[in-house]
């Protein structure tokens, strides 16, 4: 990092701690803690403020789901750039959630602007992160719109506090704060992969505090595509394994059969901002499509090796899940 003590996303003041090629960051403007590789830091420089806000929104979303120190890699950065900015209603909800996490007492008016020194506070930086604003001007425009709601008291711009309706809406939001303990598994559902799933993928996911979800093991009466989309949306992350069978061409050369469904499901998860953990048996990794080969795949030769590596990756990137063994 060129400037120690700066947030690599916003270049604002932050606490930065190196650990090999990984930097651990505490940045008010990014909404809190996150980790990032040196390689990913280099990808942040050309981002405009809108893309930086989208990336910050992903970080806040991860923390709300229980991942208190999200890990940024190149795949997450590219996925965030393709996402949409928060809607107006989502920004209001985020402001309420920010208030709940920040206020120390009921009805407290949180100062976001110091009129005496004409300076914005650190709470203001965190508020910007939570509501997805790209710059100060966007915040002021959003503030004027929010002041017209019946959820926020009209003591902005210098302070933020909630009305009774604001607290009632916050209670509704709190009821939805149930961090997902599900891990969606996208893989080749062939009998030859049974051991890889049981002693590799499932044994890597479950001890980390998550429940694996294989769509072929779920009873349902709906279209399978609809079920896949619904279960990915319910999941905390996706494990996508690209191991495949072999196909011989007319010249007798052997090629891996592409796992189109796995690519689709991993891409859909990325579009939602969900972390994807990429895995592939070592003898098939050369056949992975070049568009996704850039991601850090876990390569494995035995199911047991897959289980160990997957468990380590989940714990380091996502932390302990809510499902107790």
Total domains, the chain: 3
Q: How far is CA 43 from the centre of its chain?
A: 17
pLDDT tens per residue, the chain (325 residues)?
444 589 999 999 999 998 888 899 999 999 999 999 888 999 999 999 999 999 999 899 888 876 778 888 888 888 888 888 888 888 989 999 999 888 889 888 888 876 555 555 778 899 999 999 998 888 888 878 877 778 888 665 678 889 899 999 988 887 665 567 899 999 999 899 999 999 999 999 999 999 999 988 775 555 778 788 888 888 889 999 999 876 555 666 655 566 678 999 998 888 777 889 999 999 888 888 877 777 889 999 999 999 999 999 998 888 888 776 6
Instruction: Tell me if 117 is assigned to some domain.
Output: yes
Give the CATH number for residue 219.
Answer: 3.40.50.450
Last residue of a domain, one of 59, 82, 105: 82
Beta strands in 112-232 (DSSP E): 113-114, 119-120, 159-160, 182-186, 211-213
* 231 close to 268: Cβ distance less than 8 angstroms: no
Instruction: Tell me if 313 is assigned to some domain.
Output: yes
Instruction: Tell me if 323 is assigned to some domain.
Output: no
Residue 298, classed as helix, strand or coil, is strand
Asked if 259 and 148 sit in the same domain, the reply is no
Cα–Cα distance measured from residue 314 to residue 310, given in angstroms and rounded to the nearest whole number: 6
Asked if 54 and 101 sit in the same domain, the reply is no
User: Domain range holding 146?
Assistant: 93-175
Asked if 189 and 311 sit in the same domain, the reply is yes
Last residue of a domain, one of 175, 196, 220: 175
| Residue 62 in tokens | 């991860």
Instruction: Tell me if 200 is assigned to some domain.
Output: yes
């Amino acid at each position: 990092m060129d400037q120690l003590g700066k947030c690599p996303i916003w270049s604002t003041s932050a606490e930065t701690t190196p650990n090999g090629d990984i930097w651990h960051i505490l940045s008010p403007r990014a909404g809190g803690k996150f980790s990032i590789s040196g390689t990913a830091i280099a990808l942040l420089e050309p981002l405009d403020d809108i893309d930086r806000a989208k990336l910050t929104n992903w970080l806040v979303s991860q923390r709300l789901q229980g991942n208190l120190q999200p890990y940024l890699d190149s795949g997450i950065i590219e996925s965030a750039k393709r996402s949409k900015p928060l809607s107006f209603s989502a920004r209001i909800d985020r402001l309420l959630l920010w208030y709940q996490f920040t206020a120390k007492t009921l009805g407290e008016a949180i100062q976001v602007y110091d009129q005496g020194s004409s300076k914005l506070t650190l709470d203001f930086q965190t508020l910007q992160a939570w509501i997805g604003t790209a710059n100060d001007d966007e915040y002021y425009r959003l503030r004027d719109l929010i002041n017209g709601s019946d959820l926020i008291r009209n003591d902005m711009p210098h302070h933020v506090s909630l009305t009774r309706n604001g607290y009632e809406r916050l209670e509704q939001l709190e009821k939805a704060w149930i961090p997902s303990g599900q891990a969606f598994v996208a893989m080749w559902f062939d009998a030859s992969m049974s051991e890889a799933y049981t002693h590799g993928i499932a044994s890597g996911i479950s001890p980390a505090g998550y429940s694996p979800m294989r769509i072929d093991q779920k009873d349902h009466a709906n279209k399978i595509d609809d079920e896949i989309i619904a279960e990915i949306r319910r999941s905390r992350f996706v494990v996508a394994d690209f191991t495949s069978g072999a196909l011989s061409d007319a010249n007798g050369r052997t090629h891996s059969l592409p796992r189109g469904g796995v690519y689709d499901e991993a891409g859909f998860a990325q579009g939602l901002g969900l972390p994807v953990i990429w895995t592939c048996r070592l003898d098939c990794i050369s056949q992975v499509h070049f568009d996704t080969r850039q991601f850090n795949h876990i390569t494995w030769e035995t199911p047991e090796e897959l289980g160990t590596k997957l468990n380590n990756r989940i714990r380091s990137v996502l932390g302990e899940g809510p499902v107790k063994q």
